[in-house]
């Protein structure tokens, strides 16, 4: 009997709540680092795909930022529920994609779920913690209130493909921003499965966009795009850092350097579950208002 050839899954890009083929029609193989076996085929995003993701993220931001913190918290909690239902699949994919044990892979998934829950609880509280009533001359009220900065590009590290994604995604969307995630090149499979979870959750289209492919090709265009408002540099390799900072300066784009020297620091709650993570992606608006008689 002839040996049957397997049909590896072809993962598309996740842009605007839809799974789209890359404009370039290019793809690359995701490999098991332990055996060298092919796990799946992954779309290799182009500059045009990056521009499309920005357009989708702007539309997603317009709807997402208008929701109350309570609504965003409920939707994040629903996202955690969806991950809980597929935790075994995600743990298996992390095990196949990384040089880790099965127990370590499951630990990463469980920590990711817990982190979403934490930010779901913070979503309707951060404005009170960051905002304030300022002391001014009599006859006026003066309020400082946080508002989302807009579209955020998130450059993920190669390590901890699920926990790093969740740790950087949650403070961005909990505060009302939309995002474009550049996934791990060597282990994109967990991020692609997460895109399927996001697509079937209550997160509006365009709030989360996930691109796979060459970081070297995608990063310069997203860092220099004039409609991207912030760049979250979580990549542990500092190779792109200087060029990204220079590109961000062209339109005074906020640059957040969130990389951990040791990937294990993503398990540290003090570093990853605090109000400063949200504050990195908000702007403070101060409003004057006269007192009524």
* DSSP structure string for 115-140: HHHHHHHHTTTHHHHH-EE----TTE
Give domain status of residue 292, yes or no. Answer: no
Q: What is the pLDDT of residues 20-47, one digit of tens each?
A: 999 889 999 999 999 999 999 999 999 9
Quick check: 291 pLDDT over 80?
A: no
Give domain status of residue 78, yes or no. Answer: yes
- Selected residue with higher pLDDT from 8 and 49: 49
pLDDT confidence tier of residue 143, bands split at 50, 70 and 90: confident
Quick check: 293 pLDDT over 60?
A: no
**Residue 160 burial by Cβ neighbours in a 10 Å radius (0-12, 13-18, 19+):** buried
CA distance 92 to 22: 27
Q: What is the pLDDT of residues 235-279, one digit of tens each?
A: 988 888 999 999 999 888 999 999 998 999 999 999 999 999 999
Give domain status of residue 213, yes or no. Answer: yes
- Report pLDDT for 292: 63
> What Rg, from alpha-carbon coordinates, does the chain have?
20
The CATH number of whichever domain residue 263 belongs to comes to 3.40.605.10
Note down the domain range covering 117: 12-126+150-282
Give domain status of residue 133, yes or no. Answer: no
HEC string of 81-92? Answer: HHHHHCHHHHHH
Quick one: what percent of the chain has pLDDT higher than 90? 82
Give domain status of residue 98, yes or no. Answer: yes
Quick check: 205 pLDDT over 80?
A: yes
- The model's pTM is 0.93
Strand ranges of the sheet holding 132-133, from the earlier edge strand across to the other edge = 132-133, 140-148, 282-290
Q: What is the pLDDT of residues 147-164, one digit of tens each?
A: 999 999 999 999 999 999
Query: Based on the structure, what is the number of domains in the chain?
Result: 1
- Report pLDDT for 117: 97
Quick check: 171 pLDDT over 90?
A: yes
């Amino acid at each position: 009997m002839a040996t049957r050839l397997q049909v590896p899954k072809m993962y598309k890009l996740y842009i605007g709540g839809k799974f789209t083929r890359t404009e370039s029609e290019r793809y690359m193989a995701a490999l098991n680092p332990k055996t060298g076996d092919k796990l799946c085929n992954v779309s290799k995003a182009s500059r045009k795909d990056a521009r499309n993701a920005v357009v989708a993220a702007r539309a997603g931001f317009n709807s997402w930022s208008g929701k109350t913190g309570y609504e965003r918290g409920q939707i994040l909690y629903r996202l955690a529920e969806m991950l809980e239902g597929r935790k075994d699949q995600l743990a298996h994919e992390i095990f196949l994609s990384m040089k880790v044990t099965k127990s370590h892979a499951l630990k990463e998934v469980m920590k990711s779920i817990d982190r979403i829950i934490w930010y779901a609880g913070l979503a309707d509280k951060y404005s009170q913690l960051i905002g304030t009533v300022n002391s001014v001359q009599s006859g006026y009220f003066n309020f400082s209130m946080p508002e989302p900065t807009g579209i955020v590009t998130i450059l993920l590290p190669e390590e901890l493909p699920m926990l790093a994604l969740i740790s950087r995604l949650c403070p961005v969307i909990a505060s009302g921003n939309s995002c474009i995630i550049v996934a791990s090149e060597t282990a994109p499979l967990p991020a692609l499965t997460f895109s399927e979870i996001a697509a079937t959750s209550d997160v509006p289209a365009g709030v989360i966009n996930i691109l796979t492919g060459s970081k070297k090709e995608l990063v310069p265009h997203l860092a220099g795009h004039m409609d991207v408002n912030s760049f979250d540099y979580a990549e542990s390799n500092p190779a792109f850092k200087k060029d990204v900072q220079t590109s961000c300066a062209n339109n005074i784009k906020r640059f957040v350097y969130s990389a951990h020297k040791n990937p294990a620091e993503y398990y540290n709650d003090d570093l990853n579950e605090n109000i400063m993570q949200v504050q990195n992606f908000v702007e403070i608006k101060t409003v004057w208002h006269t007192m009524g008689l």
